[in-house]
Homo-oligomer: A and B are copies of this chain.
């Protein structure tokens, strides 16, 4: 995972929402353009950029270390969630990836299919010497609350046991509960999932600070940065929290000063 870390911490910019949620839900005239977001990643010194293979192939410029998401789905089908592989490890590497990502919908009726596919991907990734990062999202009829401490720590632990080198999981609400998830993940890196745009900067930064205090390695963020009216400022604030351990107020202050 060192390709995506600076002093053991990292901030990944994720831009797969056009496929996962559709362009209408999340995008505007600016951020619908991959160049706009790739530019944010570069200027903001993000330590990683997460793209599906199509955008990687057509837009990626080699500046920010690339993670190719290997599976994907739309949010249209109403059945139990399943996301299957659309890009091979080999192809990802040929597109410049230094790591691969894969989403497992833990608890879905199709869980076993995704666990199996991740198992194969993880072995292929390690064979070519790159990390396999697991997006572990408990979801489906059997999952009542996907941010409860129990379910978030389960996601973290599953990531460790199936061989992921890092996990991306949702925030469980408090540093205390999230630190249990971080413990469950053991030596692998935990990235908090940014989620939808938060109502205020303080709210979101507070969650990130909570996750970092709990021992997270960093953040995988999308909409809270590239939907922000000033992505550079938000990126600056996040970096103050993630890399320099600032608290929210100080981080916001310093980000304005930049």
Q: Which residues of A contact B (CB under 8 A)?
A: 16, 18-19, 22-24, 27, 29, 32-34, 52-55, 57-59, 72-74, 76-79, 82-88, 91, 106-109, 111-113, 115-116, 118-120, 122-123, 138, 140-143, 149-150, 153-154, 156-164, 180, 183-184, 186-188
Residue of B nearest to A134 (CB): B54
Judge whether A55 and B161 touch: CB under 8 Å: yes
Give min CB distance, A104 to chain B, whole Å.
Answer: 10
Smallest CB-CB separation from A139: which chain B residue? B76
B84 touches A19 (CB 8 A): no
Q: List 11 A–B pairs whose Cβ atoms lie within 8 Å, in order of A's numbering.
A: A18-B161, A19-B157, A22-B154, A23-B157, A32-B183, A33-B183, A33-B186, A54-B163, A58-B160, A74-B154, A88-B119
In the complex, chain B residues whose CB is within 8 Å of the CB of A141: 78
Q: B55 near A186 (CB under 8 angstroms)? A: yes
A187 with B58: CB separation less than 8 A: yes
Known A54-B164, A162-B53: A150·B24 in contact at CB below 8 Å: yes
* Bound complex: CA A22 to CA B154 (Å): 5
Give the chain B neighbours of A59 by CB distance below 8 A.
Answer: 186-187
B contact residues around A16 at 8 Å (CB):
161
Q: Are A116 and B19 in contact (CB under 8 A)?
A: no
Interface centre among A33, A52, A138, A162 (most CB of B within 10 A): A162
Pair A154/B55 contact, Cβ less than 8 Å: no
Residues in B neighbouring A150, C-beta threshold 8 A: 22, 24
Which residues of B sit under 8 angstroms from A107, Cβ to Cβ? 74, 76-77
Pairwise interchain contact A19-B77, C-beta atoms closer than 8 A: no
Candidates B85, B116, B142, B156; contact of A85 at CB < 8 Å? B116
Q: Is the CB of A18 within 8 A of B76?
A: no
Is A86 in contact with B160, judged by CB distance below 8 angstroms? Answer: no
Q: Judging by beta carbons under 8 Å apart, are A158 and B19 in contact?
A: yes
